Amino acid sequence: MNTRREARSRALQTLYAYEISGNTIEQILNDPIWEKPIGKKMIGFYEKLVKKTIENINEFDELIKKKSQNWKFERITVIDKVIMRQALCEFLHFSDIPPKVSIDEAIEISKIFSTDKSGKFINGLLDSILLDLVKEGRIFKEGRGLVDRKSQKKNN
């Protein structure tokens, strides 16, 4: 596994197993199903994405619920929730990933793991949540091609 998309896909599968199994994340990570090695370049990204998503699951669910007013949260498929949680995690906890990249990746991953209509649904919710997070001054990105924190704070 050498790309972030592969790491995101593995994280999605791990988080989905966590969501539906009721097992601890440690039990899931120690399951032999995960024996396929993760490339050294991506293991840190994968682990942080899984752990930060779980640590902030309630906050992410509240953000999703707030914007999915026409949908009962319980009706959203588990896989779509997990995909959106991951993207929200990237928005808020990965300063080197542009939000539009996180949204694009969520859409692409939904094409593999979810339904034909999921991409539009995920895109719409994430775009709307992103706008709110930007207005609230909660998005801080830095690195090559990204605005630094000082500039963002001055603009808010």
**Model pLDDT for residues 49-96, shown as the tens digit of each residue:** 999 999 999 999 999 999 987 778 989 999 999 999 999 999 999 999
With a cut of 80, say whether residue 4 has pLDDT above it: yes
- Assigned domain for 21 exists: yes
State the CATH number of the domain containing residue 67.
1.10.940.10
- Assigned domain for 97 exists: yes
- Assigned domain for 154 exists: no
Please give the Cα distance from 59 to 8 (Å, whole number): 20
* Token pair of 114 as six digits: 């979810």
Cα–Cα–Cα angle for 37, 42, 44, nearest 5°?
105
Number of domains in the chain: 1
With a cut of 90, say whether residue 103 has pLDDT above it: yes
- Assigned domain for 49 exists: yes
Q: Which domain holds residue 134?
A: 4-141
φ, ψ at 61 (rounded to 5°):
-65, -40
Higher-confidence position of 84 and 117 = 84
- Assigned domain for 148 exists: no
